[in-house]
Copies of this chain bind each other. A is one copy, B any other.
Amino acid sequence: MNRPGELSRLYEEYKRIKDKKQSLDMTRGKPSPVQLDTMQKLLTAVQTNEDCIDGNIDCRNYGVFDGLPKAKMLFSELLDISPDQIVVCGNSSLNIMYDTIAHAMLLGTGKGAKPWCKYEKLSFLCPSPGYDRHFRVTQFFGFNLIYIPMLPTGPDMELIEKIVSEDESVKGMWCIPKYSNPTGYTFSDDTVIRLAKMKTAAKDFRVFWDNAYAVHDLYDTSDNLLNVLEEAYKYGNEDRFLIFASTSKISYSGAGISCFASSADNVKWFKDALKVQTIGHDKINQLRHVKIFPDLKAIKSQMDIHRKILLPKFELVLNCFEKEFSDFSEISWTKPRGGYFISLTVLNNTAKRVVSLAKEAGLLLTSAGSGFPYEIDPNDNNIRIAPSFPSCEELEKALELLVICVKIAYYEAKETK
């Protein structure tokens, strides 16, 4: 398998790059400064006292705990859900998800359901590779995390249907239904329908539907995602879906606005806690957003701007992988049509080695295993590629090093066999 001398040639290359003492970072799916620069208009969207008044609402003062009506309208258009089934919150949808789990833990999911914290055992489904911060929330609260393989059509539905129908301890499931982190996969119609209609042993089973990349296309056409709430209504399972979205990767990742959406009953349940929790989220920032984004069209124009910055980076990665890895049948990668990540599958049992080699030579990657429950990748072969933050120049340097690390780990593993 190892062409003679290949590994020693790679070690030499590796040493040459390491000696440059580069400092490259591809750990997180952060927008680049160039992307953030395109949103400068948000900073001056609300400048005067008069600007702060929206209809009869003084956005500077207390109140309107469930969000500005116009901000609800905006997310309503984005998610195709009625505005009265939407609550607009602060800058972090992760924060809403955490709070929603805490609420279910302490007070149950409503309609007399027992608080989750009263159960002996709690489990949560984690389609993997997935979003490390999702899994960490449920791990923090002591859930047993169950690994569900992620397929190009979405999570393995056959396995899910079996588990949720049998195991009452399974209270919920994480999902990024469109351009999933890190595979970029979008759930197929069949996956969405099966999630909407499947029978669950736990009556209070909840799907955390994190629609983080709803409008985050890389190409002219968008992946089609069924409206899960509409599907769920057909089977009377509309309470099953807790939907989240934000402008984190539309406006500012640190200073956007976020929303919760669900069935009318769930929205009431959510608001019952929210109005105890806060007098209201930052309405001035909500107002800034609806001034810059009066409708979905305005959001889509902004996404076109992001796309023009992001696509060349994705193409750099994809072209590089194509050129360098197409001869390796055991190395593969996803080709997302949107989102922020590419999922690279290296030779089994070498992902950790790749990440550690890269780190030693000055390239920080997301820890191997981080997209899996308990941060354990059962095959130790998944690496999350986050091309958004570095410049194209830095990305080229990062890729040059990454390729060498992947190949070194590959040949090392083959040699020891």
Contact = CB atoms under 8 A, between A and B. Distances in A.
Contacts of A30: 61-62
Contacts of A90: 90-91, 281-282
Interface string A271-311: 00100111111111100000000000000000000000000
Contacts of A277: 94-95, 98-99, 137
A11 interface: no
Interface stretch (A231-239, A247-255, A313-321, A402-410): A247-255
A36 interface: yes
A115 B63 CA distance: 32
Contacts of A133: 276, 279
Contact of A255 (B28, B49, B98, B283): B283
A132 B62 CA distance: 15
A114 to B, nearest CB: 12
A330 to B, nearest CB: 34
A254 B63 contact: yes
A190 B33 CA distance: 53
Nearest to A64: B254
A61 B282 contact: no
Interface string A45-70: 01111011000001111110000000
A105 interface: yes
A285 B115 CA distance: 36
Given A33-B58, A253-B61, A284-B252, A94 B279 contact: yes
Contacts of A117: 105-106, 115, 117
Given A43-B46, A90-B91, A282 B279 contact: no
A52 B61 contact: no
Given A117-B106, A253-B61, A40 B49 contact: yes
Given A36-B49, A273-B140, A278 B94 contact: yes
A57 to B, nearest CB: 9
A276 B98 contact: yes
The 9 closest A-B pairs by CB, nearest first: A98-B277, A255-B284, A95-B278, A60-B252, A36-B60, A92-B278, A91-B282, A140-B276, A255-B282
Interface of A: 28, 30-31, 33, 36-37, 39-40, 43-44, 46-49, 51-52, 58-63, 90-92, 94-95, 98-99, 102, 105-107, 115, 117, 133, 136-137, 140-141, 248, 252-255, 273, 276-285
14 contacts: A43-B48, A43-B51, A43-B284, A44-B47, A59-B255, A92-B278, A92-B279, A99-B277, A105-B106, A106-B117, A115-B117, A133-B279, A255-B285, A282-B285
Given A44-B47, A95-B277, A102-B106, 9 more contacts: A30-B61, A36-B49, A36-B52, A58-B254, A62-B253, A90-B91, A92-B281, A99-B102, A255-B284
